[in-house]
Structure 1
Amino acid sequence: MLADVLGRAAGWGALGSGPRDSDRVALTFDDGPSPRTPELLAILAQHDARATFFVTAPAGKAHPDLLHTLLDSPHQTEAHGRWHRHALLLTPGQEWRQIRWHPRAGAAGPLLYRPPYGGHSPLTRVLARLAGRQIVLWDVEGRDWTAADAATLARQTLARVRPGSVVLLHDGPEVTPELLRLLLGGLAARGLQAVTLNELPAQHIGLRQGWRRVRASYGG
């Protein structure tokens, strides 16, 4: 549990938000690809926005054409794991395979990994380093996995967004496309542009920011 608190809640050493003096925000989508992916891509194109998609091996196998579409798009495609399981539910061998899998394996440049649920075991950071992966978290949740409507979620999310924020969304929920439309409209009204994590660019979470994340996670 301590590893999960330090790794997920504090996030020290992982990539988190970007520069706070920028006009950029990164929208990220976990769990895809899904039948919802084409709609999300169409909305992003309408707003001339880019995003980062963290895909899973089972979803890619179920929707290979959509995975290829993402890989060929102007968006950034990264790894969400071989399985969608919390790190504490994986054996060390399974977690090694989890972290090693990537839809762009062999590609040049750093490869990113977002652990399912942001979860960490005592081995997560060590294995990520050995595998040459950089762990990425977020600082704002869109909460599109809840039962709230799109307007409510958009209002709550935009209230927390700051320049440089990394927003967690999901590729799959029915509410997400409308939520995305509202978020992009709200960001534009504030002069903020949606870009990929590489374009943000995401920065490592330091000691002070990590303590702020812990306090926010536990209501402090």
Structure 2
Amino acid sequence: MGGCLGLLALTDLLGRAAGLGALGAGSRHAPRVALTFDDGPGPRTPDLLAVLAGHGAHATFFVTEPACRAHPEELRALHAAGHQVEAHGRWHRHALLLPPWQEWAQVAWHPRADQSGPHLYRPPYGGHSPLTRLLARLTGRQIALWDVESRDWTALPAGELAAQTLARTRPGSVILLHDGPQVTPELLGALLTGLRERGLKPVTLNDLRPHRIGLREGWTRLRGSYGR
């Protein structure tokens, strides 16, 4: 029993915290970053779209199947505005809480009906089971993670969150935000202003072209996960 639990913990550690083999950051030599939003679409989506449009910026939205059913107009608005729309799963549950048949459905679902181009999947919480990577390969999905977290789910004010996020952002960074928290639109505006002042252009993940996380970067991510 202890060995099984240890294997589950190790799988999640290597897949989520280290991110080995998943898509991570882009080139550190190009002045571009990717803004990504999890959990939508929802009532906050129009506010986020307005902020992005005001700055002439594009982003990547990882959406869930229940949210897409509940907010079809907002989903259409994401597509119409030219943002990249990718999958966050059928359920917002950690992979370790899903039986294999449900995780298959979780990974296989995607909001884009077309089958052209890569289809990205960001597991809820970044969580991994021993089957996550295998299922992603079998369904033709690429796991996409992040290297900077905005922490917009905390109670901190937008200005403080923006300052902390910008301090961790480098060229090539993939920034994680959420489509839902009340603070996120204001935080997004502050981030976009700060990125412009630093000469960093926000682009979609497809335009950023993130690379797969290798051993060296994985070790750095792992240390950073417990060093902050």
TM class, shorter-chain normalised?
over 0.9
Which residue matches 1:50?
Answer: 58
Gaps of 5+ in 2: 1-8
| Matching residue within 61, 71, 74 for 1:66 | 74
| Matching residue within 33, 38, 44 for 1:36 | 44
| Matching residue within 76, 85, 99 for 1:77 | 85
Aligned mates of 1:168, 1:25 — CA distance in 2? 11
Deviations 1:98-136 (A, max 9, x none): 000000033301100000000000000000000000000
Q: Which runs of 4+ in 1 moved over 6 A?
A: none
Aligned mates of 1:36, 1:116 — CA distance in 2? 19
**Mapped pair 1:26 → 2:13:** no
Aligned mates of 2:203, 2:114 — CA distance in 1? 24
1:195-210 alignment, distance < 5 Å:
195-210=203-218
Aligned mates of 2:79, 2:180 — CA distance in 1? 18
Partner amino acid, structure 2, of 1:201: R
Partner amino acid, structure 2, of 1:79: A
Which residue matches 1:14?
Answer: 22
Paired positions, count:
220
Name whichever structure is richer in helix by fraction.
2
Q: Shift of residue 69 of structure 1?
A: 1.4
TM-score, normalised to structure 2's length? Answer: 0.95
1:66-215 alignment, distance < 5 Å:
66-215=74-223
Aligned mates of 2:27, 2:156 — CA distance in 1? 30
Q: Shift of residue 73 of structure 1?
A: 2.4
Question: Which has the larger displacement, 200-209 or 182-191?
Answer: 200-209
Q: Shift of residue 74 of structure 1?
A: 1.1
Aligned mates of 2:181, 2:59 — CA distance in 1? 17
Partner amino acid, structure 1, of 2:34: A
Identical amino acids, percent of aligned pairs = 70
| 1:32 alignment partner, SS class | coil
Aligned mates of 1:129, 1:144 — CA distance in 2? 31
Aligned mates of 2:59, 2:48 — CA distance in 1? 10
